[in-house]
Structure 1
Amino acid sequence: MIAPALARAQDATNMIPKQSAVKDTSRQTDLIDIAKGLFRINLKKPRTQGEKKIYFSVLPVPGAVPGGVGQALVTSTTAGTYLGPKSTTNLSSVTFAPYWNLKSRFGLPLRSNIWLSDNTWVIQGDIRFLIYPQYTWGLGSGRVNAERTLVDDRYIRFYQSALKRITPYFFAGGGYNLDYRSGIKSDDPNVDLKQFTGYSYGTGGGSVSSGVNLSVLYDTRNNSINPLPGSYLNIVYRMNPAFLGSNNTWQSLYADVRRYFPLNPSNKNQQNTLAFWSYFWTVFNGKTPYLDLPSIGWDPYNRSGEGIDQNRYRGKTLFYFESEYRRDITANGLLGFVIFANVNTVSGSGTLFTAWHPAAGTGLRVKFNKASRTNIAVDYGFSKGYSAIILNLGEAF
Structure 2
Amino acid sequence: MIRDTVYNPVNTYGQRDLIDIGRDVFNIRPSKVKVEEEKNVYFSFLPISSTVPGGGKALFTSTTAGFYLGNRSTTYISTINFTPYFNFRGRYGLPIRSNIWLKNNDWNIQGDTRVMVYPHYTWGLGGTNDNDDKMLIDYKYIRFYQSALKRIKPYFYAGVGYNLDYYVNIEGHDNSKLKDFTGYRFGTGDSKNSFSSGASLNLLYDSRNNSINPLPGCYANLIYRFNTRMLGSINHWQSLYVDMRKYVSLSNGGPKNVLAFWSYYWTTLSGGTPYLNLPSIGWDPYQRSGRGISQNRFRGDKLIYFESEYRRDITRNGLLGFVLFASINSVSEPDTKRFAYWNPAGGSGLRIKFNKNSGTNIGVDYGMSKGYSAVMVTLGEAF
Q: Distance in 1 between the 2:5 and 2:169 partners?
A: 46
Q: Distance in 2 between the 1:393 and 1:351 partners?
A: 36
State the partner residue of 2:132: 146
Task: Return the match for 2:371 from 369, 379, 385.
Answer: 385
State the partner residue of 2:68: 82
Moved segments of 4+, more than 3 Å = 17-20, 44-49, 349-352
Q: Distance in 2 between the 1:210 and 1:64 partners?
A: 31
State the partner residue of 1:64: 51
Three-state SS of the structure 1 residue aligned to 2:71 is: coil
Three-state SS of the structure 2 residue aligned to 1:194 is: helix
State the partner residue of 1:258: 245
Task: Return the match for 2:149 from 163, 172, 197.
Answer: 163
Instruction: For residue 293 of structure 1, report the CA deviation from its aligned partner.
Output: 0.4
Cα deviations across residues 252-299 of structure 1 (Å, max 9, x unaligned)? 0000000000010x21x5211000000000012221000000000000
Matched, 1:111 2:101: no
Cα deviations across residues 75-125 of structure 1 (Å, max 9, x unaligned)? 000000011011110000000000012324210000000000100000000
Three-state SS of the structure 2 residue aligned to 1:11 is: coil
State the partner residue of 2:362: 376
Contact 1:149 1:188 in 2 (8 A): no
Matched, 1:328 2:295: no
- Relative to structure 1, is the Cα distance of residues 19 and 307 closer, same or farther in structure 2, using a 3 angstrom cutoff? closer
Instruction: For residue 43 of structure 1, report the CA deviation from its aligned partner.
Output: 2.1
Matched, 1:208 2:199: no
TM-score of the superposition, structure 2-length normalised? 0.96
Contact 1:208 1:245 in 2 (8 A): yes
TM-score of the superposition, structure 1-length normalised? 0.93
Task: Return the match for 2:304 from 319, 322, 330.
Answer: 319
Q: Distance in 2 between the 1:368 and 1:393 partners?
A: 9
Q: Distance in 2 between the 1:185 and 1:234 partners?
A: 34
Task: Return the match for 1:127 from 101, 113, 136.
Answer: 113
Q: Distance in 2 between the 1:48 and 1:26 partners?
A: 11
State the partner residue of 1:276: 261
Q: Distance in 2 between the 1:221 and 1:277 partners?
A: 14
Three-state SS of the structure 2 residue aligned to 1:37 is: helix
Contact 1:295 1:318 in 2 (8 A): yes
Instruction: For residue 141 of structure 1, report the CA deviation from its aligned partner.
Output: 1.6
- Relative to structure 1, is the Cα distance of residues 119 and 338 closer, same or farther in structure 2, using a 3 angstrom cutoff? same
State the partner residue of 2:281: 296
State the partner residue of 1:38: 25
Structure 1 vs Structure 2: percent identity of aligned residues?
59
Three-state SS of the structure 1 residue aligned to 2:294 is: coil
Matched, 1:16 2:2: no
- Relative to structure 1, is the Cα distance of residues 277 and 19 closer, same or farther in structure 2, using a 3 angstrom cutoff? closer
Q: What letter corresponds to residue 2 of structure 2 in structure 1?
A: D
Corresponding pairs, count = 379
Instruction: For residue 224 of structure 1, report the CA deviation from its aligned partner.
Output: 0.5
- Relative to structure 1, is the Cα distance of residues 366 and 71 closer, same or farther in structure 2, using a 3 angstrom cutoff? same
Task: Return the match for 1:219 from 201, 206, 212.
Answer: 206
Q: Distance in 1 between the 2:199 and 2:337 partners?
A: 30
Q: Distance in 2 between the 1:344 and 1:47 partners?
A: 46
Three-state SS of the structure 2 residue aligned to 1:323 is: strand
Q: What letter corresponds to residue 370 of structure 1 in structure 2?
A: K
Q: Distance in 2 between the 1:361 and 1:351 partners?
A: 30
Contact 1:296 1:313 in 2 (8 A): yes
- Relative to structure 1, is the Cα distance of residues 19 and 53 closer, same or farther in structure 2, using a 3 angstrom cutoff? closer
Gaps spanning 5+ residues in structure 1: where?
1-9
CA RMSD for the aligned pairs?
1.4
Instruction: For residue 244 of structure 1, report the CA deviation from its aligned partner.
Output: 0.5
- Relative to structure 1, is the Cα distance of residues 104 and 139 closer, same or farther in structure 2, using a 3 angstrom cutoff? farther
State the partner residue of 2:351: 365
Contact 2:6 2:75 in 1 (8 A): no
Contact 1:272 1:327 in 2 (8 A): yes
Gaps spanning 5+ residues in structure 2: where?
none
